[in-house]
Structure 1
């Protein structure tokens, strides 16, 4: 199936020329573009809910099975490692496998292993339980990498002149999934037991598959001649990859440490900790579409978004504690305000990265098609996963 926008499909933007190309883009979405948005929104929401559902109750269940805190952390951490490896492979061979097949297959495996995770409480305690947890978690990481890599590539193919706008808008569904996952999982766990949260979410993901098989377009392309190493060897791409890696590490580091800090420092009930995180998630979800739109309409602002976004993020982390040299008293209202600013700065820093990498790749001779889109989306997912691995190391140092 040919890409929307003409018999030969639209050509992705090159650098600042996207400003001119944007004027040629139809104001109304085509039928194919609308279907692509539905598919991408479904995988963003479903995958983030499945990813975040473990947090509230799995460590407790693992402890009942004789699993130490260290091993439980490794079970969580292996997800990022296999997501990293799978993203690189799927990004390289996206064209050979097929973007639509990779997307649908990733959803199928993700839904299946989510349900399988729900029956692990029936597995005997000890090494057998630990081994099954690792296997299921690894399979979930690989399936997630397949679906997200294909989703990014399909989106960039369907919306070549508004990549940042679309990706920024879809971050609303990612944020919604991360926000809804833990409370929904906790409610189902308390009401019905360990199995139901996983079975419920897994079935929802599986029910999305027939819809996506029907509505998702099938984009064909020839394999490219370039590799990840040629892409990452570009100085600008290497710098942006470092930015992605750093932001992922900072974002993930807040999950385990901030909740403990809030509980100990302000003596809040456990139920209110989630409301503190809501400031970060909501500001990121709201600001991302705006920065995406500005990145597409005014590409020359992307570098400034990256620069100032990272500077503001660094300042926010200095003020979260705050660091002792500032001699500022830690207060709850200040913490929430800083988290809101951090969410905005994260949107400012993250959203322009993919269109900037794409522009740099095209300017340096990479072919315009799914092959390059797969490399870029795989690189983004891989660098994000590396950041989560670094977050785990930082967390262990902090706990010591």
Structure 2
């Protein structure tokens, strides 16, 4: 156990690292995984490539926001429970604040200049994800067997799509690894360890189930709006696989269909959520601020934000102590080698759609994305600097075309 001053420094280190990412991580959950890999695997070396891919694979299996769960686990690994809280708060706060301000009418990203900058931020996601895929492929797919598993994952995603396709790709990849990758050397000692006891895991699982079952009952018994609001967002976070855009239909069913939020309000907030960094789940803060009847405003935003993230984090804590033990099983190593190769394939498929298809509209955008990739790969530039360069590049492209992108 770290002594107090050291642990305090680590918590602060986690907070600063994730705050920088919360301010600059545009592009959605797949891009966030690329940002995390650049910052914590390549630059800070908090964990190795295999451990990171293990963590990504596990979070893809769990309901909730996968990229935020990965960030939460990285904070937990680095600085304990307070580190996990610091990682979530720092990564989530910037976009949540912006969306609450938007709910109060502070829309600032309209017009050609704003749209040009936003498009540049979409382009940087291409460079970030391409850099992650390139680096992970070199480390996790070094032979033809694992390269084949990655390719198979791409094909599964192409023909099935969605969160179901991602989960299917990881399952097929793991089974293929069990067959093809038993002879590949790996060392469990290099795997990340998460400081969560079995008792904490069971308590977390019990709390997850208690809230999932108890909140609807409390809503029925009291007919109060507060519990109903928390229940709606908690269920959305508990029942969504893959995170990101997959949560939108659940949120729509939870707030638009009961008449708490109008369809126009919902779509306006969704559009704003596309223009901010950080996790898309912070869209819940906007919805909590604009719902009618009360609680709304700042209190509604806080309740909605905590409720939508809570189930994914509770499930993650419930699984982590058993994940530590799972790593030590011999057959599990082959399973994870195949699953890790599948993760590379999932990221590779996402690099094309939606990341590339939504950002690369012509040769100017391609040149800017390639510049970002070279800065990351060869110049080892920090991701925040590449984000700034891409934002300015997007503005120049917008001005050169003479129209809003």
Using structure 2 for the length normalisation, give the TM-score: 0.32
Using structure 1 for the length normalisation, give the TM-score: 0.32
